[in-house]
Amino acid sequence: MSTSNTPRAIVETPDMGITLSDGCRLSARVWMPEDAASDPVPVILEYLPYRKRDGTCARDALTHPWFAKRGYACLRVDMRGNGDSEGVMEDEYTAQELSDACEVIAWAAAQPWCNGNVGMMGISWGGFNSLQVAALEPPALKAIITLCSTVDRYADDIHYKGGCLLNENLGWGATMWAYSSRAPDPALREDWRDLWMQRLENEPFLPAVWLRHQNRDAYWQHGSVCEDYSKIKAKTLAIGGWGDSYKNAVPQLVEALPGAKGIVGPWVHKYPHFAVPAPRIGFLQEAERWWARWLKDEPTGVENDPDYTVYLMDGVRPATWYLERAGNWITPEAQNDRIKALYLNGTALADLPGTVSALIASPQHTGGDAGEYCAIWLGPEMPGDQRADDALSATWDTAPLTEDLALSGAPKLTLRLTSDKPLAQVAVRLNHVHPDGASTRITYGVLNLSRRNGFNVPDPLPVGEELEIEVPLDHIAYRVPAGHRLRVAVSNAYWPLLWPMPEAGTLSVSGGSLDLPHVDLPRGDQRVFPDPDAEEPWAIEDIHQGENSRRVITDMKTGEISLEIIDDFGVRRDLVHGLISGSVARELWTIHPDDPLSARGQTHWTEMMERDGIVLRTETFTEMSSDADNFYLAGRIEAYEGEELFYSKDVSETVPRDHR
């Protein structure tokens, strides 16, 4: 076991400067043992654009001091062009971003308070760039912990899924439009106005950047570590959650990287020591075992941990939010995992194939109960009761199960179908149907049928010709109770998760089969984790409490259906350094059930900060629509000091549709 758990007195530095080779100064918040100069320690780096001063403070407070007290120097670094760092950020995961990270690692390893070993950790963006930096093999980087990340930037991020355009491409692009256009904290930067103006004038409109790459070209290959896993030499611990969009990287990394370990819990897009739904785990203790082994050479036994541990969730009724999920921790690689094949047979999902004749012509608003693509803001974001979407889809049900079925892995649906249009998409949902008809989404997959042969070059469908296609579904671990049913539901629209095809069409299904990976039913937990631990929460005064809402609005006159999302994150004062900050995000997704070209998305973010009489605010707006040939995007930034609008910028982009 680790011998590094005796707490050490620590010191925090709110703004440690790291000057890069081109003269750009990055700002780091650092926690380390106060005696590190005489007793050097390893470094744990978290490197993000999300602002250490007023952005990730809540999770930083719980996490980094905990590690520091156990003998690590924790560096929470604002990336170039964000927070309190200088420069301009041009895009996500650029060569510049990754080069800067390598410089930071080399700088940290050379400090007198460092023992020369560095680990890198992060969730989402920080999980992505931990993998990508590891693939560059900086000599001092010995280990990483990557959470809620991906190995393929095209196939499994917020831009495209199954070759379909995700509306999150606009949604998260709008988020970064707001995040990165904010000012540094005036208390830390005398030149904060100059830095802010530089950001405002150079802020990239990322939704259009990403939309100009609709195939898996060199743009997406850059940073996709699946291009060559062998480049990752750092010891890798990968963690994910079934309530998150990034489920698939963990099993992919465990399979591809010798010695890698993986854990997937029931969680949404959060660190597991404070995530929901429960049960949480002692993530900090597990992470420290990882760091102690690979950064301190202590015999913690992590090499002997199961390669892959997942939480097998008990089947439950559908809900848009869960505080906890019953289930068991299992290690599926130690079991006799196997595939159960079921066949489309009439309207049934049966043990034997049969005659099938089904039409799929879903209204454009099908998918209204899909929930958020990436559940993160802790509002009503999970998939709701699927019955309404099932009614707008072709469905096939099993008979009531005679015994519990423990699914573990990535299901796959094979379909024989014919299309009346050259462009089409399918959304496949695997649902748990309760005896009273309630329908819980277990997992899902989508496919742009013009990308059925690969994501590099589109291949339009031959109209009227029967084809066989395969749709992989996301990994999952889920127990379906005896007496309940499984349902496969297939639609050719999935709004507002996916942008619609330019024409409404009809798919004719003549057959198909479902491969279900499953394992033996566990009798209890096959692995036990420690209870969660953490440092004291962020010390704040709430000035305005936040609130999350999602409303579906039907215009009975026009027939349009809208999803309105408002995430009010509240306003709070930091009780240590006094900065006041707050934000509100608003999204509106509108479509007419009969017209795919009626689709439009709109966002509006408000970001504010205040200290010592300086009141700063940005209002950022984005919108997107399309016709049969082009996507139309627009954005606006407004920057205020007090109530004075001192800067504004408008952008507009037209991007041709490429077989979508």
pLDDT of residue 378: 85
pLDDT of residue 186: 97
| pLDDT tens-digit map of 249-308 | 999 999 999 999 999 999 999 999 999 999 999 999 999 999 999 999 999 999 999 999
Phi-psi region of 371 (alpha: psi -120 to 50; beta: other; left: phi over 0): left
Report the C-alpha gap between 154 and 218 in whole angstroms. Answer: 10
Report the C-alpha gap between 462 and 465 in whole angstroms. Answer: 6
Q: What is the DSSP string of 343-388?
A: EEETTEEESS-----EEE---TTTTTTS--SS--SSSS-S---THH
What is residue 537's DSSP assignment?
Answer: P
Is 50 exceeded by the pLDDT of residue 3? Answer: no
Is 80 exceeded by the pLDDT of residue 4? Answer: no
pLDDT of residue 165: 98
Report the C-alpha gap between 612 and 298 in whole angstroms. Answer: 48
Q: What is the DSSP string of 91-152?
A: SSS-HHHHHHHHHHHHHHHTSTTEEEEEEEEEETHHHHHHHHHHTT--TTEEEEEEES--S-
Angle at 123 between CA 117 and CA 126, to 5 degrees: 60
Three-class DSSP labels, 158-202: CCEECCEEECHHHHHHHHHHHHCCCCCCCCCCCCHHHHHHHHHHH
pLDDT of residue 336: 61
- The mean pLDDT of 529-556, rounded to a whole number, is 97
CATH class of 10-149+232-306: alpha beta
| pLDDT tens-digit map of 481-536 | 999 999 999 999 999 999 999 999 999 999 999 999 999 999 999 999 999 999 99
Is 80 exceeded by the pLDDT of residue 78? Answer: yes
What is the third-level CATH fold of 335-519? Jelly Rolls (2.60.120)
Report the C-alpha gap between 160 and 382 in whole angstroms. Answer: 20
pLDDT of residue 624: 98
Report the C-alpha gap between 608 and 583 in whole angstroms. Answer: 6
pLDDT of residue 335: 62
pLDDT of residue 652: 98
- The mean pLDDT of 540-569, rounded to a whole number, is 97
**pTM for the whole structure:** 0.97
Report the C-alpha gap between 500 and 425 in whole angstroms. Answer: 8
pLDDT of residue 31: 98
pLDDT of residue 628: 97
pLDDT of residue 334: 58
| pLDDT tens-digit map of 300-335 | 999 999 999 999 999 999 999 999 999 999 998 756
Banded pLDDT at 5 (limits 50, 70, 90): low
- The mean pLDDT of 72-90, rounded to a whole number, is 97
pLDDT of residue 525: 95
| pLDDT tens-digit map of 88-139 | 999 999 999 999 999 999 999 999 999 999 999 999 999 999 999 999 999 9
| pLDDT tens-digit map of 25-52 | 999 999 999 999 999 999 999 999 999 9
Report the C-alpha gap between 424 and 380 in whole angstroms. Answer: 30
pLDDT of residue 2: 38
| pLDDT tens-digit map of 631-651 | 999 999 999 999 999 999 999
375-387 burial, b at 16+ Cβ within 10 Å, e below that, comes to: bbbebbbbbbbbe
Is 50 exceeded by the pLDDT of residue 1? Answer: no
Q: Share the mean pLDDT of the chain.
A: 97
